[in-house]
A and B are shown apart, each in its own frame.
Chain A
């Protein structure tokens, strides 16, 4: 009886309030006489202040100082013939950022499949570019013709045709593996296999020719291409499986971020890895980090100190709470000393003091020393932030985890840390944004990051006096990236908030 008269709960929501724009303006901007006064005063004030600035930026500013020097601003003194390497490194960074974004966004298989569709649309272009080599006409106005460096056929000068073929094949295999593993329908599997077969066929003539350049041995290219394809396939199906297994895919991405630093450094400098027969210097010319500069240095410094400081910060925070007096003592010592001095001091210490702690014959590059300084500085601050998060985790959680038989390491890693980090995401991201901006301080120890390069550019004869253009550019650059980071942080917070309530 009662249930018959009960309204259908599903269809009743709060009453919708919708305002047309005029009503919105009247209510929010001119609601009362005081509100109206404020609105008008602020609008007038803003317009008066901004008008000359806008007029200057549009009509008077010499933006050529930026466009002519684009390549220098981007890559500084990196050897012109090797520019494909920082471009590759940047591409990897962007790819990984994209991937992280996708991994945190894709919360259903349906969405994963939509992404896959796009991959199928885009990848043939990539194959064509890789297999044929490419050159595109670019307008001369873009700096020192940046397009020339980006798109000329010899962009991967030492990566011969066979290697490009290999890269294309690996990419194809990756897409194929991905398709097969996340498409349940049979047509998806066939599509993956057919795509792979077509690309393999394209590679057959190439594959049979001998490849002489690998360690001086006349290897058939097939021997090189086959493992590349297998690797791509494996990666693709692994990624696919981790996508279907939604919770664990995040750990893959975090692993990739940690692998990023050595990879990027290897591409950019080509140092000896100490494995006989596999010296990267036989493929790439070594480039000293000391000559890194421009936006490239800013980005590398920021990325390296952010990625490297994170695990160190976690360990310092855990160390500070350790039961072992030596671990706790040294963690406190490091954290308090580093937090007790300004970043500038840490940077100078890293330049001057670091060599004292190391063997004489080990000569560490200036850029690497700056990275070490930034990293330890960030790590100390992160450690305090994370410690706050650790304290927010209730002790009952530890009891419950222990009662299940988890070891102390697992209790920390699976139960305490995830909750602690979640609780302090905004503070962590704030810290990381400030690291990014603080990289500009390395000018003081003589490195030419974005700001340093800009300062040297305005000493060029043609651009003396273009101070405003140059610093406005730096400001906009830092703002865009900092804002993007804090935006990403807010999104992340919202997503992870799901399990919090």
Chain B
């Protein structure tokens, strides 16, 4: 029954003397949707960036799809091509058109022929609801459209896992829903997802488990029902009351 795809044991991370992660233990099963929330500076972004090694952890171990993350460059490349990531600031490549943004990695990393990559890209742009923008440049799109392109770009590599680092925090309110709809559809399709977000509606709808981070530690975890109905820790209660009262 248990089929873990990500195993993190006692993950520690320092920036200089500042300790960002103080021993994170977290296991993600295949097909699970995990929501991580917590106050800013709690290490949640740092943590998901260690999973595809945009940040290097200094103690503990991270095993993704059976491969342990070490300094071995081949491991890192193999793992990154299995993990898609969506950033708070979208980070589309401004010098490439939408279509080129989506086909870049499949063509250069997966070595797909251009025709195949473009076919897949058009399908994905359809799936995220913006097929008509393929030849525009990122600067010509709204924030919500850019973020959906970013999701399509990550999906083009056909990843086994998707990481979302506060994907709606930089968006105007009226655009949040269009991005969340895409993410909900993705979650229902069975994708393994780790989502750092404060969108509690999204968490209630699709999360299998939630983790509350504070000061580099997992304070509390559980199903959305457990977290929302009966949080055990005071800090969780306080934080939830703050963000739900807004």
Q: Which residues of A pack against B, CB within 8 Å?
A: 247, 396-397, 399-407, 410, 414-415, 418-419, 422, 498-501
Contacts and interface: CB of A to CB of B under 8 A. Distances in A.
A499 B97 contact: yes
Contact of B105 (A406, A422, A498, A501): A406
Interface in B75-89: 77, 80-81, 83-85, 87, 89
30 contacts: A247-B100, A399-B87, A400-B92, A400-B93, A401-B93, A402-B80, A403-B52, A403-B85, A403-B87, A403-B154, A404-B80, A404-B81, A404-B153, A404-B154, A405-B80, A405-B81, A405-B105, A405-B157, A406-B105, A406-B109, A407-B77, A414-B104, A415-B93, A418-B95, A419-B93, A419-B95, A499-B95, A499-B96, A499-B138, A500-B139
Nearest to B150: A400
B54 A402 contact: yes
Interface in B118-152: 137-140, 150
A419 B95 CA distance: 6
A397 B139 contact: no
A401 B94 CA distance: 12
Nearest to A248: B114
A404 B77 contact: no
B108 A406 contact: yes
Instruction: Determine the interface band of chain B, counting residues with CB < 8 A from chain A.
Output: 20 to 34
A501 B142 CA distance: 12
B91 A405 contact: no
B80 A403 contact: yes
Given A405-B105, A405-B157, 14 more contacts: A397-B91, A399-B87, A399-B91, A402-B52, A403-B85, A403-B154, A404-B81, A404-B154, A410-B108, A414-B108, A422-B95, A499-B95, A501-B139, A501-B140
Nearest to A501: B139
B137 A499 contact: yes
Nearest to A419: B95
Contacts of B96: 499
Interface of B: 52, 54, 77, 80-81, 83-85, 87, 89, 91-97, 100, 104-105, 108-109, 137-140, 150, 153-154, 157
Contacts of A402: 52, 54, 80
Contact of B139 (A399, A401, A422, A499): A499
A404 B91 contact: no
Contacts of A404: 80-81, 104-105, 109, 153-154, 157
Contacts of B108: 406, 410, 414
Contacts of B100: 247
B94 A399 contact: no
Contact of A396 (B77, B83, B87, B105): B87
A401 B91 CA distance: 9
The residue among A399, A403, A406 with the most chain B CB atoms within 10 A of its own CB is A403
B94 A419 contact: yes
A105 to B, nearest CB: 18
Contacts of A500: 94-95, 139
Contacts of B52: 402-403
B93 A399 contact: no
Nearest to B138: A499
Contacts of B92: 400
Contacts of B140: 501
Nearest to A499: B137
A104 to B, nearest CB: 15
A74 to B, nearest CB: 41
